[in-house]
Amino acid sequence: MKFLLVAPPKRRLAGAEEHPPIGLGYLATTLRKLGHEPDIQDCIINNWDGKQLLDYIRNSKPNIVGFQVFSQAVPYVNEILDSLKAENPKVTTIIGGPHPTAIPEQALNHMKNADYGVVGEGEIPLQHLMTYLTDGKGGLNGAPGLIWRDGSVIRWSQKVEYKKIEEFGFPAWDIIKPQRYFSARGVGDNTAVIHTSRGCPFNCQFCMRLGKTARYRSLEHIYEEMMLLHKQYDVNRFNICDEGFPINRKFVKEFCRYVISKGNSFHFIAGTGIRLSVLDDEMLELMKKANFGRMFGVGIESGVPRIRDLMEKSLTQEQLYRGIELLNKHGFRPSGNFIIGYPGETKADIAETISVALKLKLWGASFTPFAPLPGSDATNQLIKSGEIPKDFDFTRLDLDAVLYAPKGMTREEVDAMRRKAVFRFNVRPRMILYHMSGGRFFWSAIKAMRIFFPAWLVPKSWRRMDK
């Protein structure tokens, strides 16, 4: 069968990054093993809207179309599904990704022209579904990680977290075409995004995890993929973007020793940052020798231990200060990530977080409003308590969107305190000089300060959309 895998357009800033669809690449490899003909189209890198995607589908005539669905992409996917089914009712449509994984029943109920859905990692569910679709065998009851319609009822099964992830092989890089992303924001020249693991064992309440168990590939398997990318696509820098890499001190050290022993001149980026609680001198020195970039994102989230306990962040105040000190000691430049307006937070807590951010030797900071992500424990609790409605519109999620305010505050007050944090952090002489010395003053200023300007003064793709 001809199978088209789609990374659809996304609205809002939070979904605008042009990252290669690695997950779809793994699914394409699985489909090839099953004897099917996969194709991948990324609407963001193609600069396609829904009409252009539909034109492509008309010309290529796939039997099955699968969509990777983030919450921000739901309106686009729905429009495309409706048009696609109106033109060709026989085409089979599947949705997967973070949104249907978080709220499987609601997702398929909302996207009425999606025939099936996938919960969590897709390789094993896709094998069961394709057997059912091609041979009519097996049925769907008992098949892991699927969403389907049983008459008027939507049913779904628990996701699977397969341990032997090396068996899935490499993403289908020849279809993804990594060189197309060299000029993309967040990737870079001769750079490829790779994953070394799947899953995250931590229980941060604000996060929606695709997998709760951390499973790692072997160093040999990872290096083999790196060499493939280097030889075939001239990649010499690797952006490691899985959650499991920066949380495992032992694995990071082994990875660094392995790539150092190979004597290559590769460079690395810890794309998901580094976890402050796992740092030690040996680990950071090894990362320097292995040519890791000096800028790291660090998830601080709040400067107040009580709020981090509510978040189940698993980071003590001592680990926070020691981690930042260690990074600076070894020549790294930590950039702090903070959440403003978390459930249970007060104005005094936010003020203390701003104070901590100013005290720490950080080289950048993001202050993002709390995002009620679908499926997260924090969001589920807010729905249960009635603080947000059961039919909350998750398509409005964005890094700039103030969609919730803790009890005792308004959304306007949360936004005002967030603006105060951004302003106070970035107008200090040290930060202004740093941005200017790195040649990044203009873009850094735009990113940080655009929230102070009216929408008509900001480029359309960068405007706030929190109303």
Question: Tens digit of pLDDT for each residue in 54-109?
Answer: 999 999 999 999 999 999 899 999 999 999 999 999 999 999 999 999 999 999 99
- The helix or strand, by DSSP H or E, that contains position 108, with its residue range, turns out to be helix 104-110
Q: What is the pLDDT of residue 428?
A: 92
Q: Where in the chain is the domain with CATH 3.30.750.210?
A: 190-293
Q: Which backbone phi and psi does 92 adopt, to 5 degrees?
A: -85, 135
Q: Where in the chain is the domain with CATH 3.40.50.280?
A: 2-156
Query: Is the pLDDT score of 268 beyond 60?
Result: yes
Q: What is the pLDDT of residue 221?
A: 98
Greatest alpha-carbon pair distance for the chain in Å reads 67
Tokens of residue 209, six digits: 């995890």
Q: What is the pLDDT of residue 15?
A: 42
Q: Each residue of 39-61: b (16+ CB within 10 Å) or e? A: bbbbbbbeebebeebbebbeeee
Q: What is the pLDDT of residue 441?
A: 44
Q: Which backbone phi and psi does 424 adopt, to 5 degrees?
A: -65, -35
- CA gap 413, 416 in Å, rounded: 5
Classify the phi-psi angles of 142: left when phi > 0, otherwise alpha if psi is within -120 to 50, otherwise beta.
left
Q: What is 2-156's CATH topology?
A: Rossmann fold (3.40.50)
Sign of CA dihedral 324, 326, 327, 331: positive
CATH of domain 190-293: 3.30.750.210
Beta-carbon count within 10 A of 321 CB: 14
Tell me the three state secondary structure of residue 217.
coil
Query: Is the pLDDT score of 442 beyond 50?
Result: no
- CA gap 242, 200 in Å, rounded: 9
- The answer to whether the CB of 50 falls within 8 A of the CB of 80 is yes
Q: What is the pLDDT of residue 449?
A: 60
Mean pLDDT of 191-210: 92
- The answer to whether the CB of 320 falls within 8 A of the CB of 275 is no
Give the model confidence (pLDDT) of 383-433 as tens digits: 999 999 999 999 989 888 899 999 999 999 999 999 999 999 999 999 888
- The helix or strand, by DSSP H or E, that contains position 406, with its residue range, turns out to be none
Q: Dihedral of the CA atoms 343, 349, 355, 356 (nearest 10)?
A: -60
Query: Is the pLDDT score of 355 beyond 60?
Result: yes
Cα dist. 158→119, 127, 198, 442 in Å? Answer: 7, 15, 17, 47
Percent of the chain whose predicted confidence (pLDDT) is above 90: 81
Q: Where in the chain is the domain with CATH 3.30.750.200?
A: 297-467
CATH class held by domain 297-467? alpha beta
Give the model confidence (pLDDT) of 277-286 as tens digits: 999 999 999 9
Tokens of residue 86, six digits: 């109106």
Give the model confidence (pLDDT) of 287-333 as tens digits: 999 999 999 899 999 999 999 999 999 999 999 999 999 999 999 99
